[in-house]
Amino acid sequence: MVTIQDVAKAAGVSPMTVSNVINEREHVRDSTRAKVLDAMERLDYRVNVAARNLRTGRTGTIGLAVPEIDRPYYGVLAAAIMKAAEAKSLRVVVEQTERSRENELDALTLSRNRLYDGLILSTVGLGPADADLLRVDYPIVLLGERIFAGPADHVAMPNVEGARAAVEHLIARGSRRIAIVEGDPTEDLNVSSLRNQGYREALAAAGIAFEDEWVVPIGEFSLEAGVQAVQRLAERGMAVDGIFCVTDTVATGVLRGLADHGIPVPGQVRVIGFDDVPGSAYTVPSLSSVDPDHDFMARTAVDLLVRRIEGNADKAVHRDVIGPFRVVERESSGG
Amino acid sequence: MVTIQDVAKAAGVSPMTVSNVINEREHVRDSTRAKVLDAMERLDYRVNVAARNLRTGRTGTIGLAVPEIDRPYYGVLAAAIMKAAEAKSLRVVVEQTERSRENELDALTLSRNRLYDGLILSTVGLGPADADLLRVDYPIVLLGERIFAGPADHVAMPNVEGARAAVEHLIARGSRRIAIVEGDPTEDLNVSSLRNQGYREALAAAGIAFEDEWVVPIGEFSLEAGVQAVQRLAERGMAVDGIFCVTDTVATGVLRGLADHGIPVPGQVRVIGFDDVPGSAYTVPSLSSVDPDHDFMARTAVDLLVRRIEGNADKAVHRDVIGPFRVVERESSGG
DNA sequence: ATGAAAGCGCTAACAA
DNA sequence: TTGTTAGCGCTTTCAT
């Protein structure tokens, strides 16, 4: 192992000067710098990050805890966050929480073991009742739709507005009886209930009286759950001409289910999702969706975290940022 | 910051004893252990991983470099590798190489900066000519189809056999004029050329004379490239009744392209892909594919890497492991 | 502009 | 079974 000492010896300078060169500090004569760089090259020197971390107390790494990296939405999110982090010279460690409240808390605890300078935590298991557990003296940023005005910076999607715009789009295209495929309604605040709110606002604004049978609750936001939601609607006589799905993954399953039942889309039923994941432009029919601007969310989350890490943020004040969105009209809504 | 020293003082023992308790070593009296654990709890002690890393020379973290985490295949692969790594108490840092040869080499170099104990490198940019660059004195495992018998352990998919089985399946279903949508043929050895070999073997075995116009080269393995491949075939008169696609992502684009052209699948053309990503069961029509057993590949890669890290592997001998596969028959091939 | 000394928190090796 | 010593490689501080 080649150390700074070795380089210093080879270059005929002190270890401190080598350190100054490595960290691109000023007050190093060009000729000295050249000598050092040459020695580093010759010896194939590499910094020992562990030693630097120990000394500085910083790791140059942030954690990202997501439910499942192999879900398209989280893949897109993770890619965007890595890109945003790279722009700040930060590495990203991805942890999977498998949608469990416990694992999300574990991620928080583990992270505090000084492994990362901060943590971006995408919560789906933790709910509003757990907000106090997030009151930690450690830089974190929350992503997700379940905890608002909590004790941490938070970036959320434009759930209400986006959902409302999506349903208004279905109405504009001619739908009048619009189903919503959404999450477990027993949870008090989650991505579903906010999107449900937007859904109802859109109906109300159009003077459409909401009917209970339009609601199809599902247990998880998966492809299979989408298929089963259609089955449920079919059992109720498929008395709808529009379906708003809580995520694109669910919507893709819904498209599949509608195909199973031979129901034309958008001919008989219009469909729209939420997230605008890459695959949505290529389903058959292609899926209309709400694009929440993943890059904006990623950039904002990383920026907020860096502010905390660098101590440039008021410990008592926490930001709640909601991103922009746009409705992407494709075949499934007759767009 | 609470250190081992603090805990030792609070528990009335030496730092070494605290260390022994933390690391669950033997030869600690139960009563002593209890005292230490109690003090740790009271002070809310957390290990300083940086200090431990510096001392032990191990980080407990491995790197995983993939082209793009937001491609379904790499999402599935990353999830499987994280699961396999977790079983060995290893964390995983994901880096994205964006399919470039340079970034893949960078990942290798950065990794050697002692950040990780080892690296799993999924290569698509590096080719056989670069094999020598991988001759590093550092634990690495290669994933991918471009470098075989190189200077590192390597896990690959059953490209030839899987492709052959896929095409044999199309033939068994009645296809006789079978296109292949594959990668740039100017590369001498890549995932495409191996799958091309399997494709040709299947044709030959069935006594079908191969025709040049059946080959549709694409520049990248994307959804859009699949759409464009169909456009190409349509311009040639769509004189095929089967299409073998080099990946499921490409095949999903091909399904989309065939829908654009109003070509019935599997009625007029049967389609099969490779990878069996989660979405393939839910496309319309659902996509037949070759399942390469992602979990096996992930487990094998992690096992090989751990062997290297622990020094239990001969430095001069490198393993080339090829996983199992099975053909998954769905609607797109009339299965 | 450069260097010397000290120490970050932990654990390997050895001692008691 | 428990404790002592030393030092991993780096950077902060202060001196020159």
Topology of the domain comprising A159-291: Rossmann fold (3.40.50)
The sign of the torsion formed by the CA atoms of B132, B134, B136, B141 equals negative
CATH of the structural domain A61-157+294-323, one choice from 3.40.50.2300, 3.40.50.2000, 3.40.50.12240, 3.10.20.740: 3.40.50.2300
What is the reported pLDDT for A103? 86
Interhelix angle B159-172/B191-205, rounded to 10 degrees, is 40
What are the pLDDT digits (tens) for A11-57? 999 999 999 999 998 888 999 999 999 999 999 999 998 899 999 98
CA distance B73 to A315: 41
DSSP assignment of A181-213: EES-TTSSSSHHHHHHHHHHHHHHHTTPPP-GG
Which numeric CATH code is attached to B4-56? 1.10.260.40
Sheet holding A215-217, edge to edge: A215-217, A178-182, A242-245, A270-272
What is the reported pLDDT for A27? 85
What is the token pair recorded at B84? 């396999």
Interface subset of A 180-199, CB within 8 angstroms of B:
none
Touching check for A204 and chain B: CB below 8 Å? no
Residues 6+ away with beta carbon under 8 Å from B312: none
The position carrying tokens 């096996």 is: B296
Identify the closest residue of chain A to B90 by CA–CA distance: A95
Q: Which nucleotide is nearest to B53 (CA to C1')?
A: C10
Q: In this structure, are residues A146 and A121 in contact, taking their beta carbons and an 8 Å threshold?
A: no
Closest C-alpha among B190, B232, B191 to residue B215: B232
Length in residues, chain A: 335
Among the partner-chain residues A50, A61, A72, the one whose CB lies closest to the CB of B54 is A50
The position carrying tokens 């000023």 is: A26
Touching check for A279 and chain B: CB below 8 Å? yes
A261 to chain B nearest CA, in Å?
12
CA distance A111 to A118: 7
d(CA B267, C1' D10) / Å: 68
- Report how far apart the first and last C-alpha atoms of chain B are (Å, whole number): 62
What is the reported pLDDT for A222? 94
What are the pLDDT digits (tens) for B110-165? 766 667 899 999 988 887 788 888 888 889 999 987 777 778 999 999 999 999 99
Closest C-alpha among B104, B195, B182, B212 to residue B156: B195
Residues 6+ away with beta carbon under 8 Å from A23: none
Which of the four pLDDT bands, split at 50, 70 and 90, describes residue B258?
very high
Q: Strand B270-272 to strand B242-245: parallel, antiparallel, or no bridges (unpaired)?
A: parallel
Among the partner-chain residues B75, B91, B112, the one whose CB lies closest to the CB of A69 is B75
Touching check for B48 and chain A: CB below 8 Å? yes
Which of the four pLDDT bands, split at 50, 70 and 90, describes residue B297?
very high
Touching check for B66 and chain A: CB below 8 Å? no
Among the partner-chain residues B223, B259, B283, the one whose CB lies closest to the CB of A278 is B223
Long-range CB pairs of A127-133, under 8 A, 24+ apart, other chains included: A127/A101, A127/A187, A127/A188, A127/A189, A127/A190, A128/A188, A128/A189, A130/A101, A130/A105, A133/A105, A133/A108
Q: Which residues of chain A have pLDDT under 50?
A: 189
Is B189 a residue whose pLDDT tops 50? Answer: no
Q: How far is CA B202 from CA B160, B166, B258, B316, in A?
A: 10, 9, 24, 36
- Start-end ranges of CATH 1.10.260.40 in chain A? 4-56
What is the reported pLDDT for A114? 66
Count of Cβ atoms closer than 10 Å to residue A310 Cβ: 11
CA distance B248 to B252: 6
What is the reported pLDDT for A227? 98
Touching check for A283 and chain B: CB below 8 Å? yes
A94 bridge partner residues = A64
A156-A158-A161 Cα angle (round to 5): 155
Residue nearest to nucleotide D5 (CA to C1'): B16
What is the reported pLDDT for B125? 82
CB burial of A276-294 (b: ≥16 within 10 Å; e: otherwise) equals: bbbbbbbbbbbbbbbbbbb
A290-294, B41-45, B105-109 — which is least confidently predicted? B105-109
- Start-end ranges of CATH 3.40.50.2300 in chain A? 61-157+294-323, 159-291
Mean pLDDT comparison of A26-40, A267-281, B83-97, B308-322, highest-scoring range: A267-281
Identify the closest residue of chain A to B331 by CA–CA distance: A260
Count of Cβ atoms closer than 10 Å to residue A138 Cβ: 17
- When pLDDT is averaged across residues B180-208 and rounded to a whole number, the result is 85
More confident residue, A172 or B102: A172
CA distance B192 to A323: 41
